Amino acid sequence: MTNTEIVDLLELTGRLMELHDRDAFKTRSYQTAAFNLDKSTADLANLPVEELIKLQGVGKSVAQKIREIADTGRLTELDELLAQTPEGVLDMFRIKGLGVKKIRTLWRELGIDNLGELQRAGENGEIAKIKGFGGSTQEKILAALEFLQEQQGKVRMDKAAMIANLLQEELAKHFDRVEISGQVRRKAQEVDRIQLLVQTSDPLSAMLNLNNLPTLTQNEAESSPFIWRGRFMNFDVEVELRLYPAEQMNRQLFIQTAAEPHLQQVGNGGASLLEVAYTSVVSELAEGATEDVEQAIYARAGLPYIVPEMREDDFAFRWASRHQTDELVTWNDLRGTLHNHSTWSDGKQSVADMAAYCQELGLTYFGIADHSKTATYANGLDVERVQQQQVEIDKLNEGFGTTFRIFKGIESDILGDGSLDYDDATLATFDYVVASVHQTLTMSLEKATTRLLRAIENPYTTILGHPTGRLLLAREGYPIDHRAIIDACAEHNVVIEINASPYRLDIDWRWIDYAMQQGVKLSINPDAHDLAGLLDMHYGVAIGRKGGLTKAMTFNTLTLEEMTTFLQQRRERLRTAS
């Protein structure tokens, strides 16, 4: 059992105990333990009770429960609570803004025990009549239900890649060649179909082989003699396995990777990419590396080669009229990382440990941007703790010499009126400031845009963090006028973040090219809260490439010397202006 799995079970137990009005003290003990252990780096599954009780927020009773989870994979108390809770009530926990008390009221007072009944009650106006709810809450619930319905059957980029890789490993035991294609190869931020191509000269035997695999469950109605559709393990996303002979694999990998609008692009000879791919001589497409074959298809169509990530529509060809493929940013181009958290706020590792891992990754600078004082829920730093952290960073930097540096940053909350949550004197102590919205997320387009514009106008704002505040598949971002925001960043020399967390991937890739055209640089920021989170920059690179992000317009491709100079000159201009 991983720490995340253990914490999730403790958190769910606490929620269900509150839902069923169990002992308040015992309920809080679960909730407190889950909150504190979520940030713990201890190996919970391998600690005895005597060691567990030394951890913050863990008493002897909860420690024994953790051992039960680690030893059995289950928690008897949770199993009993789940048996008393309708599955539909559990689904209500997925609705943002609907807490345990409100869910209990809906269940107990209106008898609502599933999302369908919840939607019906909202549409009939019944929810608004309940004390403590009102029309506004009812509208938010209906909007959240609509959003959940739209996201049903989808997974985020990271999970899609994980599923596809697991499936490829499984199928590779039985078939000579298995290729990941479709949305996963295009690096879609949300995926509703995991597609792989399977090489076989005997599709009938291959289909029987697939149906004998215990990890696969076929949807016979949706399948055909050459296409297997169904589910892999217990993942709630459609799997599609297409069966092709060896001589068709390269051709079909190209066709199945690109979206239909991209395939319909017509080249100089008057034929579309799809037509060229289908009419090219089989022997030419059956030989050579995949990229060589795909380049040959574009060349035969009289079109520039487009990388898999960009094969969505005709945007890539407009981009290619101004750029070359080798201009696109890669992981190896990144020189540092600028939006990260540590144990000073809600991170799981120290500044020193995060910096050391950055060095292992070959990066030359690490920017710390812990949460600011308004983010009390995330142990945000007040002014005194800011000063203490900066003293620690100075000491660490003394040991790095000239090859590595920790930059002093902060993720300063953008308040409701657009101001940042420190005074100018404190803001002036940082090397850079990431300005982000974390609270009061329900805003009109006008209010959200005005709020961001004021933050961008603040001379201390260096980077605009996750501009829409979205959480993919969980929370729709607040609406903003992207053009106005990007234009303001251009005017005030503010960098825009591509938040590389697969939960966010914000700013959306569709606005990257406009930002570059306006001269706005983008920073691929992992928003890392632990060591593994630093690797999320891989997702940021993928999304950056999808939007046509070049190395030249990526902020954190600056070398250590260039970044140091940029930040020093910016601070000097601020001092002069003040």
Q: Which position has the higher pLDDT, 281 or 43?
A: 43
**CA dihedral sign of residues 170, 176, 182, 185:** positive
From the list 202, 137, 204, 209, the residue with the least C-alpha distance to 170 is 209
Could you tell me the pLDDT band of residue 143, with boundaries at 50, 70 and 90?
confident
Q: Which of 106, 136, 166 corresponds to the end of one domain?
A: 136
Say if residues 551 and 329 touch (Cβ distance below 8 Å): yes
312 and 423 co-located in one domain: no
Asked if residue 142 is part of any domain, the answer here is no
107 and 182 co-located in one domain: no
| Angle between helical axes of 100-110 and 115-123 (0-180°, round to 10) | 80
Report pLDDT digits (tens) over 196-214: 999 999 999 999 999 999 9
pLDDT of residue 476: 86
267 and 336 co-located in one domain: no
Give the β-pairing of 522-525 and 227-232. Answer: unpaired
Lowest mean pLDDT among 251-260, 274-283, 433-442: 274-283
- What is the average per-residue pLDDT within 478-494? 97
Say if residues 452 and 486 touch (Cβ distance below 8 Å): no
From the list 535, 515, 517, 518, the residue with the least C-alpha distance to 526 is 535
389: its two tokens: 């952290």
393 and 451 co-located in one domain: yes
pLDDT of residue 140: 86
Q: What's the DSSP call for residue 477?
A: P
Task: Report the Cα 348 to chain-centroid distance in Å.
Answer: 18
Asked if residue 149 is part of any domain, the answer here is no
Give the CATH number of the domain where residue 559 resides.
3.20.20.140
Q: Which of 320, 343, 376 corresponds to the end of one domain?
A: 320
Q: Is the pLDDT of residue 403 over 70?
A: yes
Q: Is 354 exposed, middle or buried (0-12, 13-18, 19+ CB in 10 A)?
A: buried
Task: Report the Cα 89 to chain-centroid distance in Å.
Answer: 27
- Sequence-separated (6 or more) residues with CB below 8 Å from residue 507: 466, 467, 468, 482, 496, 497, 498, 499, 515, 522
Report pLDDT digits (tens) over 309-357: 999 999 999 999 999 999 999 999 999 999 999 999 999 999 999 999 9
pLDDT of residue 502: 96
Asked if residue 280 is part of any domain, the answer here is yes
468 and 560 co-located in one domain: yes
Could you tell me the pLDDT band of residue 400, with boundaries at 50, 70 and 90?
very high
Mean pLDDT of the chain: 94
| Angle between helical axes of 115-123 and 134-151 (0-180°, round to 10) | 140
Give the β-pairing of 495-499 and 463-464. Answer: parallel
Say if residues 239 and 232 touch (Cβ distance below 8 Å): yes
Q: Is the pLDDT of residue 164 over 70?
A: yes
DSSP for 65-78?
A: HHHHHHHHS--HHH
Q: Is the pLDDT of residue 568 over 60?
A: yes
340 and 252 co-located in one domain: no
Q: Is the pLDDT of residue 287 over 70?
A: no
Asked if residue 464 is part of any domain, the answer here is yes
Share of the chain above pLDDT 70, in %: 98
3-state helix, strand, coil in the chain (%, to 5): 50, 15, 35
Asked if residue 146 is part of any domain, the answer here is no
235 and 259 co-located in one domain: yes
Strands in 405-413's sheet, in edge-to-edge order, are 336-337, 365-368, 405-413, 432-436, 463-464, 495-499, 522-525
568 and 475 co-located in one domain: yes
Could you tell me the pLDDT band of residue 103, with boundaries at 50, 70 and 90?
very high
Asked if residue 116 is part of any domain, the answer here is yes
Give the number of other CB atoms < 10 A from CB of residue 51: 14
CA distance 163 to 153: 14
Q: Give me the amino acid identity at 536.
A: D
What's the number of domains the chain is made of?
3
- What is the average per-residue pLDDT within 250-265? 96
Could you tell me the pLDDT band of residue 123, with boundaries at 50, 70 and 90?
confident
- What is the average per-residue pLDDT within 403-429? 97
- What is the average per-residue pLDDT within 487-511? 97
DSSP for 324-345?
A: -GGGB--GGG--EE--B--TTT
- Sequence-separated (6 or more) residues with CB below 8 Å from residue 187: 157, 308, 309, 542, 543, 545, 546
127 and 215 co-located in one domain: no
**Paired strand residues for 242:** 197, 227
In angstroms, the Cα distances linking 282 to 18, 279, 347 are 64, 8, 54
Q: What angle do CA 382, 387, 391 make, to 5 degrees?
A: 145
Give the CATH number of the domain where residue 243 resides.
3.30.460.10
303 and 201 co-located in one domain: yes
CA distance 184 to 161: 6
Q: Is the pLDDT of residue 282 over 70?
A: no
From the list 64, 68, 9, the residue with the least C-alpha distance to 34 is 9
pLDDT of residue 285: 66
Q: Which of 109, 136, 163 corresponds to the end of one domain?
A: 136
pLDDT of residue 407: 98
Report pLDDT digits (tens) over 4-62: 889 999 999 999 999 999 999 999 999 999 998 988 888 999 999 999 999 999 999 99
Helices (H), 458-559: 482-492, 512-517, 537-546
Say if residues 486 and 496 touch (Cβ distance below 8 Å): yes
Q: Give me the amino acid identity at 72.
A: T
pLDDT of residue 39: 80
E-strand ranges in 173-237 read 178-180, 190-191, 193-199, 216-218, 227-232
Asked if residue 148 is part of any domain, the answer here is no
pTM above 0.75, yes or no: yes
pLDDT of residue 284: 63
pLDDT of residue 286: 64
536 and 490 co-located in one domain: yes
Q: What angle do CA 72, 34, 141 make, to 5 degrees?
A: 110
Q: Is the pLDDT of residue 100 over 60?
A: yes
Q: Give me the amino acid identity at 476.
A: E
The whole domain housing 343 covers 331-577
Say if residues 381 and 409 touch (Cβ distance below 8 Å): no
CA distance 188 to 161: 10
From the list 59, 60, 57, 81, the residue with the least C-alpha distance to 9 is 81
492 and 398 co-located in one domain: yes
Asked if residue 212 is part of any domain, the answer here is yes
Report pLDDT digits (tens) over 511-557: 999 999 999 999 999 999 999 999 999 999 999 999 999 999 999 99
From the list 320, 281, 326, 283, the residue with the least C-alpha distance to 302 is 320
pLDDT of residue 98: 86
Task: Report the Cα 259 to chain-centroid distance in Å.
Answer: 22
